[in-house]
């Protein structure tokens, strides 16, 4: 989810030496969470290796950071040694200009995704902090893909809100809200429009979470709280939190699909996950099952999903990510039955941005100190 697009104001001219002040509430007041609280609440993980032990690291002289206000910049500065210069940028495009202007001293850029022009403008770059979770753009740049840079992202920050979005999509179908919304628009009051037998008691259902990362774990926690049985797959290990009844490896997905009433796809986009959900996978699901995708659009064969909805192979689907994205007018997804589409907005909220800034600040502090970093991307794994 592109958190930057939601929170960064354009057109700011930022001073570089004003006195410290708390960021204003309008731009997302900081929560001042400790590192331990950030890691616990967002499910963030430390890197195995400290930044100081990575090839090419040295205490930075200067960093470029995308900020939304002069107060935010002062708040960042307050957490760093006085001899580290922060050059503010108002957005990703501006960061390239600012980095190029200070190319001799800048070794880190914070709040910008991987872009070739930024890499070219920053010959001494060592660390890049992306403002969102997706790192597909990084994998397309050869010198980034080969591990020349330390890349961190925002995995975990929007995860609690994305998990709530999953539950909302589930209830949209489980309680017949799709039918009732249509009746309301038609000004019809029909108590039996949705037969009681089709109204789920979700506490009797099983949810399969495919991809037990931060989104998957948050979703599983909410589903468990509703009384659902939760099973999951993950690529790395069979271990999981206590509220997940069973964790299987990725090769167990076909057999676990048959057990699930709700299948939640929270997978990243990798060579292994691309087009994973195809006609064969949908055929293994219950005809009464729901499919919800909050991972990546290209993990699904869109034509196969549309066909599965049209012929009743599955009962319904909720997509916050799609392939293609944005979905163009006239695309078959728009007319597919029993489908809810949201425009890659599941991470949005009225309270979520403060955590974004907290993570940036904490990782900046850690990088300058040479400590272990949060949410380091493994480009070989693709997440």
Which residues are annotated as catalytic?
A: 296, 325, 344
Separation in Å, CA 293 to CA 53, 178, 260: 38, 18, 15
Omega within 30 of 0 (cis) for the link into 69: no
Separation in Å, CA 183 to CA 178, 192, 255, 372: 9, 11, 38, 55
Nearest to 162 by CA among 347, 373, 356: 347
In this structure, the chain runs to a length of 383
Report CA torsion sign: 294, 300, 302, 305. negative
Separation in Å, CA 361 to CA 15, 78, 349: 19, 10, 20
Four-CA torsion 215, 217, 219, 222, nearest 10 degrees: -140
Contact 206, 260 (CB under 8 A): yes
Report CA torsion sign: 158, 163, 168, 173. positive
């Amino acid at each position: 989810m592109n958190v930057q697009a939601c929170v960064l104001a354009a057109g700011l001219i930022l001073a570089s030496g004003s006195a410290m002040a708390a960021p204003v509430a309008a731009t997302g007041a900081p929560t001042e969470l400790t590192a331990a609280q950030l890691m616990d609440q967002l499910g963030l993980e430390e890197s195995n290796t400290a930044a100081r032990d990575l090839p090419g690291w040295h205490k930075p002289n200067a960093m470029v950071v995308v900020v939304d206000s002069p107060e935010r910049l002062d708040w960042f500065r307050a957490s760093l040694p006085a001899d580290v210069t922060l050059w503010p940028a108002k957005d990703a495009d501006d960061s390239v200009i600012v980095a190029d202007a200070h190319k001799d001293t800048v070794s880190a850029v914070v709040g910008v995704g991987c872009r070739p022009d930024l890499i070219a403008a920053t010959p001494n770059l060592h660390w890049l902090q992306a403002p969102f979770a997706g790192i597909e753009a990084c994998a397309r740049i050869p010198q980034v893909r080969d591990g020349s840079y330390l890349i961190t992202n925002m995995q975990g920050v929007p995860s609690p809100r994305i998990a709530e979005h999953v539950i909302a999509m589930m209830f949209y179908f489980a309680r017949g809200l799709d039918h009732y919304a249509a009746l309301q628009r038609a000004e019809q009051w029909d108590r039996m429009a949705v037969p009681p037998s089709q109204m789920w008691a979700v506490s009797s259902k099983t949810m399969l979470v495919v991809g037990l990362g931060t989104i998957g774990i948050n979703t599983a926690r909410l589903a468990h709280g509703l009384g659902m049985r939760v099973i999951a797959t993950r690529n790395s290990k069979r271990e999981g939190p206590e509220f997940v009844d069973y964790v299987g490896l990725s090769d167990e997905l076909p057999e676990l699909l048959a057990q699930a009433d709700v299948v939640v796809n929270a997978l990243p986009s990798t060579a292994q996950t691309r087009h994973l959900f195809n006609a064969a996978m949908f055929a293994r699901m219950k005809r009464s099952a729901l499919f919800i995708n909050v991972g990546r659009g290209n993990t699904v064969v869109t034509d196969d999903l549309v066909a599965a909805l049209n012929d009743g192979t599955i009962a319904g689907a909720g997509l916050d990510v799609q392939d293609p994205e944005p979905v163009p007018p006239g695309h078959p997804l728009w007319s597919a039955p029993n489908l809810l589409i949201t425009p890659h907005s599941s991470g949005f909220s009225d309270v979520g941005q403060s955590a974004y800034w907290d993570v940036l600040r904490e990782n900046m502090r850690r990088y300058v100190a040479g400590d272990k970093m949060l949410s380091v991307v493994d480009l070989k794994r693709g997440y």
